[in-house]
């Protein structure tokens, strides 16, 4: 791997994010341990972004502007491009049964019907996409990009304002922490009251997780003296938490604020600990890097990759073609989830490699490599 590219990279964080990306695919393919990985995989994405946040990049109005423009390029632009492409493909997806307008599919959990769209409908949805107000079925995982964009900008603005009024570092930390706690309480209230806030309600809890990531960076896990013991204890903690509640961050659902924080911290110690050990092996770090640079493609395309396995199931079971449109998978039971996982991952990585090889000028940077 190019030394220039990896000179300033934290291999442990690369591996942590790669593990979380793999968990995203696992969580969509019928993996038996889905509830368990949902305890930590999305919270860790926000924490990793907070961990990599550099306050120096927002310490002046010029730097803040540069930061904002970078987020437009690395978050908003990929969101718009991929959603627009998928929207443009909607009628084609209907023709090849990746989507369906057959209402019988609604009897299967998670599935939905789609209709052919007109040019006028396309234009309306495109405007909504520009405003983070719409998406497509296959890009539903992009909720993370939309929320991260809002969280990063809000956090950056808060840090910028505190720098402007020149408060002592200790006072600034207290204020940021207080805002994060209040945000979590607001997030819980919105969750309990089922207030969507125009689909931005999960920004509050995600802000808290982002802040928690900055704390992990400050402490550098110095309280951990034995990695193996810490990993084991964190895993046990997650297993216990898994019996007490659940987290669906995309729906702004978590059992309680304390439950979310405990799950996030246990998840961080567990996955970061594994990543720290794994980072000592160069090949693992390289694979993690490769997965990370294809992050946007993986989030956008793994559902399409699933269709290869769904097609096999439709043919071998003699099912009507509309079953191909079942979402996210047709049937992940009896080990089929593993085939779905591999198909989603391999298809996404191959697409990225081909696009990169063909010299595509648009190269999406990992959404949480740097801030």
DSSP-based three-state secondary structure for 157: helix
Please tell me the chain's helix, strand, coil percentages from 3-state DSSP, rounded to the nearest 5. 70, 0, 30
CA of residue 3 relative to chain centroid, distance = 27
pLDDT tens string 53-73: 999 999 999 999 999 999 999
Q: Using CB atoms within 10 Å of the CB of residue 20, give its burial: 0 to 12 exposed, 13 to 18 middle, 19+ buried.
A: buried
Torsional class of 134: left (φ above 0), alpha (ψ -120 to 50), beta (otherwise): beta
Average pLDDT over residues 87-94: 98
Rounded to 10 degrees, the C-alpha dihedral 7/11/14/18 comes to 140
Among all chains, which residue has been given the structure tokens 């509640």?
245
DSSP-based three-state secondary structure for 279: coil
- Is the pLDDT confidence value at 105 over 70? yes
> Confidence class of residue 223 from pLDDT cuts 50, 70 and 90?
low
- The predicted pLDDT at position 168 comes to 85
Is there a contact between 307 and 98 (Cβ–Cβ < 8 Å)? yes
Among all chains, which residue has been given the structure tokens 């769904």?
310
- The predicted pLDDT at position 221 comes to 62
DSSP for 283-324, written as a single string? HHHHHHHHHHHTHHHHHHHHHHHHHHHHHHHHHHHT--GGGG
The pTM assigned to this predicted structure is 0.92
Maximum CA extent, the chain: 69
Q: Using CB atoms within 10 Å of the CB of residue 160, give its burial: 0 to 12 exposed, 13 to 18 middle, 19+ buried.
A: middle
- The dihedral through the CA atoms of 43, 49, 52, 56 has a sign that is negative
pLDDT tens string 169-206: 889 999 999 999 999 999 999 999 989 887 889 999 99
pLDDT tens string 110-158: 899 999 999 999 999 999 999 999 999 999 999 999 999 999 999 999 9
pLDDT tens string 207-216: 999 999 999 9
């Amino acid at each position: 791997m190019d030394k220039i590219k990896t000179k300033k990279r934290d291999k442990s964080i690369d591996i942590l994010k790669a593990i979380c990306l793999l968990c995203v695919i696992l969580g969509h393919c019928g993996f038996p341990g889905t509830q368990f990985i949902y305890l930590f995989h999305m919270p860790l994405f926000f924490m990793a972004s907070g961990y990599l946040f550099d306050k120096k990049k927002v310490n002046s109005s010029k730097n803040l502007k540069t930061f904002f423009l970078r987020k437009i390029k690395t978050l908003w632009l990929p969101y718009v491009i991929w959603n627009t492409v998928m929207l443009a493909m909607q009628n084609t997806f209907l023709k090849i049964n990746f989507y369906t307008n057959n209402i019988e599919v609604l009897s299967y959990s998670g599935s939905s019907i789609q209709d052919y769209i007109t040019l006028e409908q396309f234009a309306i949805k495109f405007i909504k996409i520009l405003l983070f107000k719409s998406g497509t079925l296959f890009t539903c995982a992009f909720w993370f990009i939309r929320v991260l964009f809002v969280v990063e900008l809000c956090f950056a603005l808060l840090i910028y304002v505190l720098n402007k009024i020149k408060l002592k570092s200790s006072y600034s930390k207290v204020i940021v922490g207080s805002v994060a706690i209040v945000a979590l309480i607001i997030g819980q209230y919105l969750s309990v009251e089922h207030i969507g806030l125009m689909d931005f309600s999960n920004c509050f809890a995600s802000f808290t997780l982002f802040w928690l990531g900055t704390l992990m960076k400050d402490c550098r896990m110095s309280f951990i003296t034995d990695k193996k013991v810490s990993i084991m204890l964190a895993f046990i903690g997650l297993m216990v938490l898994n019996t007490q509640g659940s987290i669906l961050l995309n729906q702004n659902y978590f059992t309680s604020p304390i439950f979310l924080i405990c799950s996030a911290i246990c998840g961080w110690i567990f996955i970061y600990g594994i990543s720290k050990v794994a980072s000592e092996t160069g090949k693992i770090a390289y694979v993690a890097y490769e997965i990370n640079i294809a992050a946007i493609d993986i989030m956008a395309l793994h559902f399409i990759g699933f269709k290869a396995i769904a097609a096999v199931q439709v043919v071998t079971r003699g099912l009507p073609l509309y079953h191909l449109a079942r979402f996210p998978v047709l049937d992940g039971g009896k080990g089929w989830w593993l085939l779905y996982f591999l198909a989603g991952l391999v298809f996404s990585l191959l697409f990225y490699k081909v696009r990169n090889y063909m010299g595509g000028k648009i190269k999406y940077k990992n959404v949480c490599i740097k801030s």
